[in-house]
Amino acid sequence: MGARPRILDIVNTDHAALNFLAFRVGWINEHSEFDNDILCSPGPHFARLNLPAGRVTAMDIPRGMSPVGVGRLLGRLVRHLRANRYTIVHTHNSITGAVGRLAARLTRVPVVIHTTHGFHFHENMGRLERAPYVAAEKWLARCCDLLLCQNRQEVEEIRRLGIRPRHGVCHVGNGIDLRRFPLRDAAPTNPRPVILCNARLEPVKNHPMLFRAFELVRRKHDAVLWLVGEGPMRDQYAAELAAKGLASAVEFLGYRYDVPALNAAADVAVLPSVKEGIPRALMEAMAVGVPVVATDVKGTREVVVDAQTGYLVQLNDAEALAERITRLLDAPGLRRDLGVRGSVRVRDHFDEERVTQRLVQMYRNALYARGLAEIRERALESLRVEEGRA
């Protein structure tokens, strides 16, 4: 192997790679003894994955679980891993997490790590519905050295369910690049109140709950709803809103690169998800001082402190969601106070640089656990030499 251990992050989409890997991988390449690459499917955001040192590989990744598509992906990943000598493979998401872990084991990659971004099963499923997904995760854990969780509740659940990777389960957390999301100087003065929802347009984000609540909010406030994000449900949601007579009050903004500015212009941010690993969209809104209202689900409740940085409501309780949004729109002082406290919480607990430093230490510990300490020592010596030349 080369002087620096090589890491490959495998994730499903270029959108995901840009949102939660680009900063981290760039930091690791610049500040650690590791070389970190990314593999993801190509798309409209792929060109922005311009890493200073790492390499980004495009590979078509199926969205569904068709046996043919999954089999082809497994074959392509096996060939890629055989052609590139990686020390660590780190997988993300459901399909890439399953197939990537299997491919890494088939090609004898020394260390295999998987991060759960919220399992496919969740706390609002019945036991029978959850059972096949739990069984699959138990089997996949055999292909994995370390399982990383973004929220602490998931660590407890994994242990309770008996999902046992070789070297255990750890909480790694999640964060945002705080430099991009400064606390806004003042609250916006919108002619019409702005409610922002930054979430992919897919069923798990549960937009219909928000639409029902928005109908109720509109009885008192001439508010507008900004929907940030892309997804397969866009046309259906547009039709639903038109049928409710809300089309003129809702803007589909698509995927946006100016999310900090959009957050700064919003009065309230909302996330009605069925499940979350840990929601960066809420961190981003809170960081700039926007009060948030979200569903009380695993992951989200680790970010939002109810009645202190925003509000949590029960899943699918649209009336409660509408009441909390209305309460905030009625009270500028309350919006300001919750927004400031939310910004402090994000800066104290969800700094992406600190999360990345924690992850690097986990990579080092994983090498030691696998008896590969000498690889890291050679890398550190190489790093010291490079720094001496600089």
In a domain, 341, yes or no: yes
Is residue 369 located within the same domain as residue 283?
no
pLDDT digits (tens, 9 = 90+) for 153-211: 889 888 888 898 988 999 999 999 999 999 999 999 999 999 999 999 999 999 999 99
Is residue 204 located within the same domain as residue 231?
yes
Is residue 39 located within the same domain as residue 73?
yes
Is residue 214 located within the same domain as residue 327?
yes
Is residue 216 located within the same domain as residue 77?
no
Q: How would residue 387 be classed by pLDDT, with cut points 50, 70 and 90?
A: low
pLDDT digits (tens, 9 = 90+) for 317-353: 999 999 999 999 999 999 999 999 999 999 999 999 9
pLDDT beyond 80 at 373 = no
In a domain, 27, yes or no: yes
In a domain, 51, yes or no: yes
pLDDT beyond 90 at 99 = yes
The residue segments making up the domain with residue 379 are: 6-175+351-389
In a domain, 19, yes or no: yes
Is residue 119 located within the same domain as residue 204?
no
Is residue 25 located within the same domain as residue 164?
yes
Tell which wins on pLDDT, 368 or 128.
368
In a domain, 1, yes or no: no
Domains: count for the chain: 2
Is residue 183 located within the same domain as residue 331?
yes
**Chain mean position to CA 163:** 22
Is residue 249 located within the same domain as residue 329?
yes
CATH number reported for the structural domain that contains residue 171 in this entry: 3.40.50.2000
pLDDT beyond 70 at 49 = yes
In a domain, 154, yes or no: yes
pLDDT beyond 70 at 381 = no
pLDDT beyond 70 at 64 = yes
Is residue 224 located within the same domain as residue 208?
yes
Is residue 204 located within the same domain as residue 277?
yes
Is residue 323 located within the same domain as residue 356?
no
Q: Give this prediction's pTM.
A: 0.90
